[in-house]
Amino acid sequence: MRIIITALLAFSLSACLSLPTSDEQVVAIKPDLPKDQIEAWNKMLGKWYGAQPMESGETYEWVVTRTVEGRFKLEARQSRGEIYTEVGEWGLAGPIYFVIAKGWVENEIFIPTDPTDPYFRHAYEVIELTDSTFKYRAFSDGSIFTMQKVEPDFELKMHNKPL
């Protein structure tokens, strides 16, 4: 009897799995990226700088370097404080820019984030992307960030003046 119940249960479950969950048709194999998506990816590569006022009255200043392999390095500080470094992965899918922080670098030592914590994943709406300007909005709190492309040798230094 146990075998018959198990067989009936397995048959019922397999029948459920073959039922469609929607009538909407999908493309089974991802198509090639459109040319504008490849161009947008390439525009985001390299080094970008931003400096903006914060609600606290301080200034948030940051430099992001993005590589073609999808890695990023963020160097940031508030007002004239210490510079901290975060590293991880970045991506662009349509109008969505996203980052996954993998850890920080302190005194040349990598300190990993908790990969099970969703706090270290961020998604943004791309508002504007040109060869020289990148403007994006955080889905989490609506903050809008604007960055300017800078030369590869640009560095965030302690003597940079905040806005």
Pick the CATH number of 35-150 from 2.40.128.280, 3.40.190.10, 3.90.550.10, 1.10.1660.10: 2.40.128.280
pLDDT digit string (tens) for 78-130? Answer: 887 889 999 999 999 999 999 999 999 998 999 999 999 999 999 999 999 99
d(CA 44, CA 55): 27
d(CA 146, CA 133): 7
Which pLDDT score is estimated for 157? 76
> Following CA atoms 78, 114, 99, 105 in sequence, which dihedral angle do they give, to the nearest 10 degrees?
50
Domain ranges of the chain: 35-150
Predicted structure pTM score: 0.81
Categorize the per-residue pLDDT at 44 as very low, low, confident or very high, splitting at 50, 70 and 90.
Answer: very high
d(CA 103, CA 74): 11
